[in-house]
């Protein structure tokens, strides 16, 4: 049971994020780059599959050279191998371009399941997973909260509005995982020191047999043209009621008449 996990390195959004004054992006000074939280859950799920069914866990990442750190985090958690797809021609690629590159790399591997985090916390797009499944020509399910592998098929659970559904999906398949699927393990110190010595393969678009017109900026069908800080909320009304009863009435009235939730 060989599992491939697609990961992304993103800025830690628990630290302050500042938009550049010219709106061309966010300030990179002082950013703490980490493995996308959702991908930690994907790596964890892959490790659990390996513990249960044997096989290997390979991590694939599209990113700049510093993304090797994210791959090392996954290796330190216990992944067997890491691969970085890194090419300046991928600058300006859209999600479909990234998915095409990932698909090409994964097609050369022997694999049964591809796992990704449901979304990445930089652009929150949640596009690469299903697009990757399309390019690999396999079925997919997104935002799964439970995964079990059986004979030739997987049983997954996902939440939909008003409930949950259980699906049986034929393998090979791509799944994107929700954070509630598991509790990721911390990398251990021995894992970190071992990961330091592991070799990470690097691939370019040329290595993948992809032309820039297929995956790079030329192929992109969207472009983020501007970044702005989030809208500042305006203060509403601040009241100092005479009594707690009046306060309660005013709040209930607000909930009923303005927010319309009662």
Write out the binding residues for other proteins, residues 17-36 only, by CB under 8 A.
17, 19, 26, 32, 34
The CA-based angle 129-134-137, given to 5 degrees, is: 125
In the shown chain, the binding pattern of residues 167 to 196 toward other proteins, with x for contact by CB under 8 A and - for none, equals xxxx--x------------xxxxxxxxxxx
Kindly report the backbone phi and psi dihedral angles of residue 243, in degrees, each rounded to the nearest multiple of 5, phi listed first. Answer: -140, 160
CB of 4 to other proteins, least distance (A): 18
Residue 74 as a binder of other proteins (CB under 8 A): the answer is no
Least distance between other proteins and beta carbon 85 (Å): 17
**Which of 65, 161, 199, 209 lies at the binding interface for other proteins (CB under 8 A)?**
161
Give 83's strand partners: 60, 201
Residue 196, classed as helix, strand or coil, is: helix
Residues composing the chain: 262
Site string for other proteins, 105-124 (x = CB under 8 A): ----------------xxxx
Q: Could you tell me the smallest distance in angstroms from the CB atom of residue 89 to other proteins?
A: 17
Pairing of strands 33-35, 9-11: antiparallel
Nearer to other proteins, 206 or 239 (CB): 239
Q: Is 98 in the site for other proteins (CB under 8 A)?
A: no
Distance CA 185, CA 113 (A): 20
Instruction: Pick the piece of the chain touching other proteins (CB under 8 A) from 54-62, 83-91, 203-211, 217-225.
Output: 217-225
CB 83 within 8 A of CB 58: yes
């Amino acid at each position: 049971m060989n599992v491939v996990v697609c990961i992304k390195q993103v800025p830690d959004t628990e630290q302050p994020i500042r938009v550049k004054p010219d709106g061309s992006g966010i300030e990179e000074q002082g950013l703490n780059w980490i493995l996308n939280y959702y991908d930690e859950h994907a790596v964890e799920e892959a490790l659990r599959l390996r513990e249960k069914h044997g096989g290997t866990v390979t991590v694939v990442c599209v990113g700049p050279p510093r993304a090797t750190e994210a791959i090392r985090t996954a290796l330190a958690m216990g992944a067997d191998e890491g691969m970085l797809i890194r090419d300046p021609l991928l600058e300006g690629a859209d999600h479909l371009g990234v998915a095409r590159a990932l698909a090409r790399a994964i097609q050369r591997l022997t694999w049964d399941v591809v796992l990704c985090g449901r979304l990445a916390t930089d652009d929150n797009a949640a596009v690469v997973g299903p697009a990757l499944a399309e390019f690999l020509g396999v079925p997919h399910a997104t935002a799964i909260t439970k995964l079990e592998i059986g004979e030739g098929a997987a049983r997954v659970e996902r939440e939909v509005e008003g409930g949950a559904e259980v699906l049986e999906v034929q393998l090979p398949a791509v799944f994107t995982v929700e954070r509630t699927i598991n509790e990721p393990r911390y990398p251990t110190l021995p894992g970190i020191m071992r990961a330091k010595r592991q070799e990470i393969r690097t691939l370019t678009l040329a290595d993948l047999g992809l032309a820039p017109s297929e995956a790079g900026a030329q192929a992109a069908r969207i472009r983020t043209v501007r970044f702005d800080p989030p809208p500042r909320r305006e203060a509403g009304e601040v009241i100092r009621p005479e009594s707690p009863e009046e306060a309660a009435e005013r709040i209930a009235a607000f909930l009923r008449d303005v927010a319309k939730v009662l």
